[in-house]
Amino acid sequence: MSNFLVTGSNGQLGSELKKLSSNYEYNFIFTCKDELDITNKIDLAKFIEKNNIDIIINCAAYTAVDKAENEKKLADDINHIAVKNLAQIAKDKNIKLVHVSTDYVFAGKHYKSYKENDTTNPQSIYGKTKLDGENAMMDINPLNSIIIRTSWIYSSYGNNFVKTMLRLGKRKKELDVVCDQVGTPTYAKDLARVIFDILPKIQNKQVEIYNYSNEGVLSWFDFAKEIMKMAKLDCKINSIETQDYSTTVARPHFSLLNKSKIKKEFDIIIPYWKDSLDKCLKELGERK
């Protein structure tokens, strides 16, 4: 039986992987930053060797987009250096590595869906550090390893847009939500299931990048409207432009991910975003 390490296990994706893990025949070790410091290469290598790890899914990430501008070293340590450490150890010990990245590696300034080989141009420290992590992994090139870029992730676990809208929708009569940032949300449970399902099929000599989000195209405004509708919350959603939203960090205006590659190579069907939102709200007990 393979020994399976999941880093960042207290996050949204890590929590969903943990919940689904009983359905799969692996010996799982779930770690968080307090249990395993993946930025410390020596300690990381000792942990992996001691537990005879065969497969790693790296869900650990620094995701505070605004704070990253003032915490560059911390963001770089987690999003870049830690990935470099994992990739080097994976290569040295012939370990399969799945690393999760983001749509923020793109500028988001055109209006066609991004394919995996499109030019990257991150507009924030968060995006730059995530891209640096990707590039480090590509340069080291561990065997049978992949990068999955995802977007707008949410879950019944942790803090996310869906839970924020539910909380505010119960307290406020109206909310302002940006309408000019377009992409697709990703239900973390769907991504977790896909990762488990494709793992046995991953066989490649060069690190491959895949895009994954739910199907469909929408803005954050559309997303918020549907959350209120499904939860039957009497809260009006007003559309505003990004320039009217209080933030100092550039976010992609159009970051729709093209999923053709992962669908074709692994023969998977990706759920529509409304269907996945419905499932998440039911799990939260908020679907009315």
**Residue 30: CATH number of its domain:** 3.40.50.720
Round to whole Å and give the CA distance between 106 and 120: 5
88 in any annotated domain: yes
What is the per-residue pLDDT for 274? Answer: 98
Burial of 167 (0-12, 13-18, 19+ CB in 10 A): exposed
Q: Is residue 288 scored above 90 in pLDDT?
A: no
31 in any annotated domain: yes
What is the per-residue pLDDT for 248? Answer: 74
77 in any annotated domain: yes
Name the pLDDT band for 245 (thresholds 50, 70, 90).
Answer: confident
What is the pLDDT averaged over residues 161-179? 97
Domain span holding position 76: 3-160+185-214+257-271
Q: Is residue 111 scored above 90 in pLDDT?
A: no
286 in any annotated domain: no
Looking at every residue in the chain, the average pLDDT score rounds to 96
- Which tens digits make up the pLDDT trace of 2-12? 899 999 999 99
59 in any annotated domain: yes
Name the pLDDT band for 238 (thresholds 50, 70, 90).
Answer: very high
What total number of domains does the chain contain? 1
What is the per-residue pLDDT for 242? Answer: 86
What is the pLDDT averaged over residues 223-233? 98
Q: Is residue 247 scored above 80 in pLDDT?
A: no
Question: H/E/C letters for each residue in 116-129?
Answer: CCCCCCCCCHHHHH
What is the pLDDT averaged over residues 197-205? 96
Structure tokens at 177: 């939500």
53 in any annotated domain: yes
More confidently predicted of 244 and 170: 170
What is the per-residue pLDDT for 244? Answer: 81
As annotated, the active-site residues are 126
Q: What is the chain's alpha carbon radius of gyration, rounded to the nearest angstrom?
A: 19
What is the per-residue pLDDT for 25? Answer: 86
What is the per-residue pLDDT for 119? Answer: 96
237 in any annotated domain: no
- Which tens digits make up the pLDDT trace of 95-105? 999 999 999 99
Name the pLDDT band for 268 (thresholds 50, 70, 90).
Answer: very high
What is the pLDDT averaged over residues 267-280? 98
219 in any annotated domain: no
- Beta-carbon contacts of residue 76 (< 8 Å; ≥ 6 apart): 129, 132
